Amino acid sequence: MYLLRKAVMLPSLISPWTRIVEYPENHLNDFCIFNGPDNRWHVIGIMGTGTWDSEISLFHCSNRDLYGPYRIHPPLLKDLAKGRTRNDAPQKHAPFVFVRHDTCFMFLRRPMGTNLLLKSNDPFRWPTEPRVLFEENDARDACIQEFDGIYHWYYCQWREVDGIGRSCILLRRSRNLEDWDNPVVVHVDTSREVRHSHLQSPFVVFTDDCYWMFIRNRSMDDRCVTTVFRADSPDRFAFGTEMWDCEMEGVHAAELVTVNGQWHIARVSGPPGGFPGAPEAGGWVEIAPLRFDGD
């Protein structure tokens, strides 16, 4: 039995959201937040001026305190080389940075599914030549976590499941963050047949003896909902939207970090007009402390 329901344990905010990043002239979308080798918190993510074509660089902010206020730095990766790929799209989407032994591993994608890796010891400076890890149509939104000494890479992708096109979360594994095995499907949205995944921004953590997966569900755009699933294994979560444990309304592209045993969840405003509450101009990132306990 992979789904845990023996106790009512649900994530909830401890206090209201705090705005830590604000751009008055750029919209902000899928992002990551991490503590760098310089002992500063960094926020890196999609930025643009209101159109998909404008998303050719990443915004970058940092501060020593998780709750900011964050200093805005020059955009990153505007001149990133094409690399060994069939895809020359200039957009850079959904970065995720994993820090290991003072080396930052940045995973990101070019549309429509070219997934890249950049390595650096300095979050302010990145190589101009990426390594192409794999290319699969619609593959995007990396989340990399280490469980039991194995790195787990979760991402969204359209897949045929039993002959039907579905929105899926896939998983690849690695022992070194550079060489990854073949993907397996760990979650399927069975609510509708699709040709492009409407699941976004998976984020998986382990706490309270179970694994939690946060997923932005675009089928509920009218409410901007992140759904939360839990399981006793990192490689299989419940299939079907009816099986989620709870919803977090108003949360787009959730990112989680822990400091001294305390969890925190961050959200981003998203593209203009894309979600309820998203500003028509400008963008922001907000954060709040999170607890996992009974409701």
What mean pLDDT, rounded, does the chain reach?
92
- Is the pLDDT confidence value at 4 over 50? no
d(C-alpha 183, C-alpha 253), whole Å? 22
Please give the CATH architecture assigned to the domain spanning 29-264. 5 Propeller (2.115)
Cα–Cα distances in angstroms (integers) from residue 4 to residues 100, 217, 227, 290, in the given order: 31, 21, 16, 20
Say what the pLDDT of residue 245 is.
85
Give the start-to-end residue ranges of the domains of the chain.
29-264
d(CA 85, CA 66): 36
pLDDT tens per residue, range 176-196: 999 999 999 999 998 889 988
The whole-number pLDDT of residue 6 equals 44
- Bridge partners of 97, per DSSP, are 106
Decide if pLDDT at 270 tops 90.
Answer: yes
pLDDT at 191 (0 to 100): 87
Helix-, strand-, coil-residue percentages of the chain, each rounded to 5: 5, 55, 45
**Which of 286, 207, 294, 295 lies closest to 254, judged by CA?**
286
> What is the pLDDT, as a whole number, of residue 237?
92
87-111: average pLDDT: 96
Higher pLDDT, 17 or 279: 17
Residue-wise pLDDT tens digits, 137-161: 999 999 999 999 999 999 999 999 9
Q: What's the average model confidence in pLDDT over 75-93?
A: 91
